[in-house]
Amino acid sequence: MINGKSVLAIIPARSGSKRLPGKNFRDFNGKPLYLWATEQAVASRYIDVVKTSFDSDRPPELCTDDASSEDVMRYHLAQQPADWIVLLQPTSPLRTIGDIDACILRAQMGRGCVSVAKSTRETNGAVYVCTPEYLAAHDFSYGGLMKYVMPDERSLDIDTEEDFLACLQSDCAPGREGRERGQGGAV
C-alpha cells in the first residue's frame, strides 16, 4: 500500500515463447526466472497482492503470442481490483526491489511510471506501474508516464539465448556473491 492506495503486482509467466522456448521457467542462478520476479514483488514495501499468472490462471486467448501483457493485467485487475497495478516481467531478473519501489513511488507523481535504460532512455521491460484508469484506456506504448532510470547493467531483458547468458554473467545477477548494485533514479 502506498498513500492509502492498494497495489497489485502481476508477473505474467506464460509457457510459450517463439524465440526462447520456456524462458520464464528457465533456471537462473538456482530458481526459475518467474520466481525471482515473484520474490521481488513479495519483498516490495508497497505491493499488497502478488499474482504470478500462469497459463492455467487465464483464458486460452491470453496465453498466445498475440495477447499483450496489458491484456493479462486487465484480466487479473478485474478479478482483484486495486488502485495501482505493477507489471514485473520474469525476463528482467537484474531489476532490484529498490527499482520496483522507486518506480511505484515515482508513479505517484502522475498516472504511472516505466523503467528505462540509462543510456537510451527507452523502456527496458523491468518495471511498469499505472492506474487502472490508464490501463483501461492505453497500453504502455502510449506513453505519458513518468520515467525511472535504471543503470544499463541492470536493464537487460531476456528475449534470446544470448540475452539469457549475458544476464547470467552479469555482476548484477541475483544469487551471485560479491555483486555491486548501482542506484537508479528519476529522469
Query: Which CATH number belongs to the domain containing residue 84 in this structure?
Result: 3.90.550.10
Q: Judge whether 1 lies within some domain.
A: no
Whether residue 180 has pLDDT greater than 80: no
Q: Judge whether 41 lies within some domain.
A: yes
Query: Are the C-beta atoms of 113 and 107 separated by less than 8 Å?
Result: yes
Distance between CA atoms of residues 127 and 96, nearest Å: 10
Over the Cα atoms of the chain, what is R_g?
15
Among all chains, which residue has been given the C-alpha cell 531476456? 158
For 102-152, write each residue's pLDDT tens digit: 999 999 999 999 999 999 999 999 999 999 999 999 998 888 899 999 999
* Residue 39 structural domain: 7-174
Among residues 80, 60, 140, the alpha carbon closest in space to that of 107 is found at: 140
For 33-86, write each residue's pLDDT tens digit: 999 999 999 999 999 999 999 999 999 999 888 889 999 999 999 999 999 999
- pLDDT grade for 5, boundaries at 50, 70 and 90: very high
- pLDDT grade for 177, boundaries at 50, 70 and 90: very low
Average pLDDT over residues 87-97: 94
Q: Judge whether 159 lies within some domain.
A: yes
Count of domains for the chain: 1
Distance between CA atoms of residues 159 and 175, nearest Å: 21
pTM: 0.89
Q: Judge whether 137 lies within some domain.
A: yes
Q: Do β-strands 185-186 and 123-130 pair in parallel, antiparallel, or remain unpaired? A: unpaired
Q: How far is CA 86 from CA 113, 171, 178, 181, 182, in A?
A: 9, 26, 29, 22, 22
